[in-house]
Each structure stands twice: as C-alpha cells, then as structure tokens.
Amino acid sequence: MPRIVCVAGARPNYMKIKPVMDALEGRGAEVLLVHTGQHYDPAMNDVFFADLGIRPPDRFLGVGSGTHAEQTGRVMTAFEPLLEEVSPDIVVVVGDINSTLACALVTAKAGPLLAHVEAGLRSRDWSMPEEVNRVATDRVADHLLAPSPDAVDNLRAEGYREDQIHLVGNVMIDTLLTNLARARASDVLARHGLTRGEFGLVTLHRPANVDDPAVLTGLLKALGEIAGRCPLLLPVHPRAAGRLAEIGVPGGIRLVPPAGYLDFIALQDAARVVLTDSGGVQEETTALGVPCVTLRDNTERPITVEQGTNVLAGRDPERIVATVNRVLDDPPAPRRPELWDGRASDRIADVLLNGGTASTRPRPTSLPRPKSADRPGPEDRTLPI
C-alpha cells in the first residue's frame, strides 16, 4: 500500500482532509498528516481538531502568520526536508490557501504524485489570493479531484488531460453529513438565546470586505438595516475583530466569539438566512437547505447559484438589503447537487489507490495555449499561459 502525506494548514482545510484520511486509512494506506501551522489560534484550530475527531498531526511545521510571500516561503522550506525524509508516494493538498500552493510546488519538484482536492474551482477574480493559489496548484497536480461539473468544465477548457480530471463530489459535504446529528444536538442556540428560524447568521473575513474601512462600513450599514427585520448573529473572525471594534456595529447585530465546527453547523442549520463571504459556507448552506446571500461580486462555487440556494448580492448596501428582503419574502426551495452525497472521499480514495505511481503514470506536461487570445486578458487569466 502507498504512503500518502495529507496536508492541512488552516480552518478551511480540516473539514476537507478528515474524510479523505479516513477513506485512505480504511483501505490500508499509510497516511501521514502534516499540519503547516498556518492557523494556530486555538479558536481557529484546536476546537476543529476536537470537534471532527482528527488525530494529532504526525508533523507540525509551525509556520505561523506573515505576508503571502513570507508564509508561502516558510511552508516550502519546512516541507521540503520533510518530504525528502518520509519519501511518500502521493501528496494530497486541499483547497486554496497558501499552504496548499507551497506544498504543491515542493511536491512537484520532488517527484511524488500530487493530488488536489477541490480542483477546478474558479472565481475568475485575479485579485483574490485564493484564485492564484488554486490555479497554480492545479497546474502542477497529477490528480485533479473536482467537486462539481463546473469545475470539470473549467479544467477541460484549460486543456488538462482527461485522465487527470476526476469528478468526485464535495468532501466538505461528507464531513457535514457525518456530523450533522451531533451538530443538531449542540446547545449553541440556548447559549445565545436563539430560536430556530428566527435569526440570520453572518460571516465576514475576506480582505476585500474587512480590510477597507469604507467597504466594511457600507456592509455594516446594510446589515444594520437587515437586522431591523431579522436579528443577526456574527461570530467574529480574528481578521475582522479589530476593524469591527473601530467602526462600531449597528444595533440588532450580536457579535460572538468564533464558533467551533459543530456549533457553527448548528447555527447554519437553524438560521433563517445566512449572509457570508465564505466559499465553504455557500456549500454548507446549500447542503442544509438554508438560503444564502453571498456578500461578494463573484464566487468559485457557481453551482450553488445555479441550484438557486445562493444569491450573489455584491457589496453595494442597497443591493444587499434588497436581495436579503427578497430571499426572506420568498425563500428558495432546498436542492442539493449530484454527488454531494457523503461519499466523495471514497471516490477520491479509489482514484488515488488505483491511479498508478510516479514511475508509471504520465506526468503534467505543457498545456496548449488558450484559444481565446494570444495573451489572456482579465476575463481569462485563469487559463494557463
């Protein structure tokens, strides 16, 4: 059986790596969990390991925070000697954080097969660091494990080989369905004095929303108006805490500490509406059948919009208020995409354990130039050049 390194670095990774590890170990593979330490705050790290039952990592790199370049560089310099020491057959990276890209680049140069979980997602917004990370990671990966048909379409349009692309479904939904009963048993509603279906849930963390005081002020203005109709609960992400304190929060919006995984799923499940700038929350609300309004101009999860369970409202306060009022007046019918069935991790394990080795499998090669133009412009910069 192969030796497989699974990499996690921050909160968005934990829900994705746990079911993959379980499926691989259930088939007899030797799995080493490497935690880069990109998230190290207990509220963003320890509680998720406990809630999800993730075993302690085999290696902790402890890279900490920093600029994108600093953080990516520290992960690379720490991961390179580890990879040489353990000599894995396959490295699995998930999502689109800096650790994902850093470990992908090291792996591609070291020689093991590289698998990317959530391959093919595209916002087509080159100002998002995550977009750069996911596009570059896909470019060097051997196995592109796509969560939805739109992701497969993106990869095909970019020229990847068919044998690289695998439609496997959404591993976040594996974790959600596995833990939903435990989440619903949480007392988080009682702790916050909430009643099911009578509050809205808000998350804000993206730099485009919280780093610019003018943008954040506009969002808070919209949220304050919405709170007059539907009280809002806002678990505060560390990135946003200081800025929210500086600007001040309108009445009707309750700030609470960051929630653990089970508590946050329980809050989503019980909310009347969720307002978010998180990609993962768009997926979780779709699976839960809870209306979602996304406070962004684009999304790398367009399938949630196509299903009608998620609406892009942008960041204009008037448009946000009008969109939320429309959703409250006429909530969308619950729908769940195909293959969001709790078995994505099983399909991933099948691909990895039956996909050959670095010595027998074709490796990533030069891709054809984009057909749309000699040089990609802003509308198609996700295409390889």
pLDDT of residue 133: 97
Tokens of 263: 């508590």
Give the fold, CATH level 3, of 181-329. Answer: Rossmann fold (3.40.50)
3-state secondary structure of 234: strand
CA atoms of 282 and 286, how far apart (whole Å): 6
The predicted pLDDT at position 2 comes to: 96
What confidence score (pLDDT) does residue 242 get? 84
Q: What is the pTM of this model?
A: 0.90
Give the whole-angstrom CA distance, residue 216 versus residue 40.
26
Nearest in space to 91 (alpha carbons), one of 10, 20, 28, 172:
20
Query: If we measure between CA atoms, which residue out of 39, 40, 21 comes closest to residue 31?
Result: 21
Domain 181-329 in the same topology as domain 3-170+340-380? yes
CATH code: domain 3-170+340-380 is 3.40.50.2000
At 203 the pLDDT is 95
Q: Which residues contact 300 (CB under 8 A, 6 or more apart)?
A: 96, 121, 122, 123, 130, 131, 134, 279
User: pLDDT at position 321, please?
Assistant: 98
Q: Which residues pair with 234 in a beta bridge?
A: 255
The domain segmentation of the chain, as residue ranges, is: 3-170+340-380, 181-329
What is each CA distance from 242 to 174, 215, 247, 345, in whole angstroms?
34, 15, 9, 38
* Chain CA centroid to CA 127, Å: 17
Per-residue pLDDT, 48 = 85
Taking 50 as the pLDDT cut, the residues of the chain under it are 371-385
Choosing from 39, 68, 143, 205, the catalytic residue is 205
Contact 33, 49 (CB under 8 A): no
Give catalytic status of residue 205 as yes or no.
Answer: yes
Q: Which tens digit of pLDDT belongs to each residue from 186-240?
A: 999 999 999 999 999 999 988 889 989 999 999 999 999 999 999 999 999 777 8
Determine contact, residues 271/301, Cβ cutoff 8 Å: no
